[in-house]
Structure 1
Amino acid sequence: MGETIPIAVPRKGRPLESVLDRFADRLGVPGLADDITSTLRHEKALTKGSIDPDEEDVYHRLADYSAVDDPTEPEYTLVRDDRAGKPRRIVFDSVTVPLTGVEGAPDGAAIQLVGREEPFRSLRTHEFALGFDSADLVLEEVVELRPEPLGRIADINARIDPSDTDVQVVTGLGDTVYHTLLATPEVAPASESLDRDFLEHYEGSLCIEPRYERLVQAVLGTRALAGIDFRYPEEGREEEAAIADVGLGVYLTVTGSTAREYGLLLGEQLFPSETVLLENAAETTETVAFVRSLLNGGDLETELAVSR
């Protein structure tokens, strides 16, 4: 029996879908990826109330979805969602993908995707050698805060103290959105760009999500934050609305349409948010190295260009 390499992955959402797309492309399992994605999108819609609930309750649906006797079929689990009422939500748990027929794969080798709430932390505690998570969480957890700003995912590894963690970023998946500087017309400079240079001279409040505080400190650099105090959205209030109240803020944007609805101007894209492949070098085996090389590669349009 060959070695099965477990890989920590997000349980739901865009990052998991990006991982599944990567596996569909590299391992030729588009049907499996589509099945998991469609199931989780359906369950998300049920949890949000976007569609009417099925006649079956969540426990019966969970039993219908999960093939516990066949590890090569997806298995799901339940978590408490953070929406009002804390409803139970079906999320991804695990699936095993044999590497049979993959060129160069060790005999009997397989990959097991294992859902985790925070895959990066699972790698930090040496539960996994490989995993996928948002680059944001790496900034929030381990990068050094310096006076100079951090503008590229490719620079993250240089700011990770090896004595703090063995985990490094390997590659990105190209599902890029941006932490963007947003401001009302009253606060934005009239004749200059709304960018880092503006922040260097700005004094006042900056609205951010509380969980992004350390990320924003790393991205902007501690020098630029002199004279700036952080403000946070009230619970239940949309981030863009809170930024409009404060006048200036940083938040993730895709098209920026919601920000514009609140009268906000879009400034500099400060930092890309992207799902990344992570590796704990202390746990690397020959088979792990093969799997890493299988999932790595330059075929994606990614913000990340890390030399290894």
Structure 2
Amino acid sequence: MTAPVRVAVPRKGRPLEAVLDRFAARADATAVADDVVSTLRYEKAVAKGEQSDDRGVYDRLAAYSEPSNSHRPDFTLLRDARAGKPRRIVFDSLTLDVDGTPVQLVGREEPFRALRTHEFALGFDSADLVLEEVVELRPEPLTSIADVNDRIDPVDTDVRVVSGLGDTVYHTLLATPSVQRDVAAPELDREFLAAYEGEICISPRYERLVEAVLGTDATDGVSFVYPDGGREEEAAIADTGVGVYLTVTGSTARDHGLDLGERLFPSETVLMENQCEADGEDVAAAKRALATEPTETAIPPQ
């Protein structure tokens, strides 16, 4: 039997659900994908105290996992970062047939870094991590996922983005009406930022990403500040006057008196490859099957 193509995937959360949706469509695996998603959502609710279960965590793990059957999902335990560091059940592995090619999904805490260290040829992770770690900062802004590969120094990594999955939310420019009046810019967009000088409130883990997305010209004359620990980001941005934050509907931002401006950059799960490891017809076949059909987020061939 042909060895499966191993693909690194997130262990939990929205990015993993986007990956499972893609495999459900490509591998006729809707039932097993739904099984993984519902299990992890339930376990998240248990971990947060929103659900209770008389079974211990090891009993639940044994009930979910079938390691002797690679075509059923397998789960594992991780220490959660919350107080007390409770054990959390997360995704571990699953093997599926994708257009005749066996593909093994392997859960990793940081799939992008697993590709960077040559553990995998293919993997899925958030495009945000690529921006945070390897894209070059330039005077001009980075506006689309299709331009990410042009910003990656080949000396830094062999990993390149193949395409996005379309599970898009946006890093959005937010500001209070009073600051907009002070700047006197007609729109809340990058031109507004070029004229603005002062503080911009962002999540601390996104500083390099925001610099790449805005461009170093636009960030000249501004300083980044961060929400106090545990405080809602939209509330901190309202106090600062200007900020960049991930938005879906923007309703919470509006509740804090913020206007939604330009959608600066899509936050999306992406398929990536390590170009040094992506040899062989099986890997090429898996990549072709899993990549997005041509869309605005697809990456041109390298």
Residue of structure 2 in register with 1:149 after alignment: 141
Unpaired segments ≥5 residues, structure 2: none
Q: What is the alpha-carbon distance in structure 1 between the residues aligned to residue 130 and residue 180 of structure 2?
A: 30
1:96 and 2:61 are equivalent in the alignment = no
How do residues 124-273 of structure 1 correspond to structure 2 at under 5 angstroms? 124-189=116-181, 192-273=186-267
Amino acid at match of 1:3: A
CA contact (8 A) 1:168 1:279 kept: yes
Residue of structure 2 in register with 1:307 after alignment: 300
Greater CA drift, 134-143 or 190-199: 190-199
Change (3 A) 1:191 1:207: closer
Amino acid at match of 2:265: F
Structure 1 runs (4+) deviating above 6 angstroms are: none
Q: What is the alpha-carbon distance in structure 1 between the residues aligned to residue 81 and residue 8 of structure 2?
A: 22
Residue of structure 2 in register with 1:73 after alignment: 72
Q: What is the alpha-carbon distance in structure 1 between the residues aligned to residue 120 and residue 21 of structure 2?
A: 21
CA contact (8 A) 1:180 1:270 kept: yes
Q: What is the alpha-carbon distance in structure 2 between the residues aligned to residue 268 and residue 98 of structure 1?
A: 41
Kindly provide the CA deviation profile for residues 124-158 of structure 1, in whole angstroms up to 9, marking residues without a partner as x. Answer: 10000000001111000100000100000100001
Q: CA deviation at 1:227?
A: 1.0
CA contact (8 A) 1:176 1:303 kept: no
Q: What is the alpha-carbon distance in structure 1 between the residues aligned to residue 153 and residue 141 of structure 2?
A: 17
Residue of structure 2 in register with 1:7 after alignment: 7
Q: CA deviation at 1:97?
A: 1.4
CA contact (8 A) 1:272 1:303 kept: no
Q: What is the alpha-carbon distance in structure 2 between the residues aligned to residue 245 and residue 85 of structure 1?
A: 32
* TM-score, length-scaled by structure 2: 0.95
Q: CA deviation at 1:297?
A: 3.5
Kindly provide the CA deviation profile for residues 264-295 of structure 1, in whole angstroms up to 9, marking residues without a partner as x. Answer: 11111000011100011111122100100011
Amino acid at match of 1:262: H
Q: What is the alpha-carbon distance in structure 2 between the residues aligned to residue 66 and residue 274 of structure 1?
A: 29
How do residues 49-68 of structure 1 correspond to structure 2 at under 5 angstroms? 49-51=49-51, 53-68=52-67
CA contact (8 A) 2:173 2:188 kept: yes
Q: What is the alpha-carbon distance in structure 2 between the residues aligned to residue 10 and residue 71 of structure 1?
A: 18
Q: What is the alpha-carbon distance in structure 2 between the residues aligned to residue 213 and residue 87 of structure 1?
A: 30
Q: CA deviation at 1:191?
A: 5.9
Residue of structure 2 in register with 1:23 after alignment: 23
Q: CA deviation at 1:96?
A: 1.2
Q: What is the alpha-carbon distance in structure 2 between the residues aligned to residue 216 and residue 210 of structure 1?
A: 10
Kindly provide the CA deviation profile for residues 221-250 of structure 1, in whole angstroms up to 9, marking residues without a partner as x. Answer: 011111111101111111111111211110
Q: What is the alpha-carbon distance in structure 2 between the residues aligned to residue 272 and residue 196 of structure 1?
A: 15
CA contact (8 A) 1:3 1:287 kept: no
Amino acid at match of 2:216: T
Q: Helix, strand or coil for the counterpart of 2:227?
A: coil
Residue of structure 2 in register with 1:287 after alignment: 282
Change (3 A) 1:278 1:240: same
Greater CA drift, 267-276 or 85-94: 85-94
Amino acid at match of 2:9: V
Aligned residues: 298
Q: What is the alpha-carbon distance in structure 1 between the residues aligned to residue 167 and residue 61 of structure 2?
A: 29
Amino acid at match of 1:276: V
Q: CA deviation at 1:296?
A: 1.5
Change (3 A) 1:271 1:75: same
Q: Helix, strand or coil for the counterpart of 2:112?
A: helix
Q: CA deviation at 1:260?
A: 1.1
Percentage of identical aligned residues: 66
Q: CA deviation at 1:178?
A: 0.1
CA contact (8 A) 2:27 2:97 kept: no
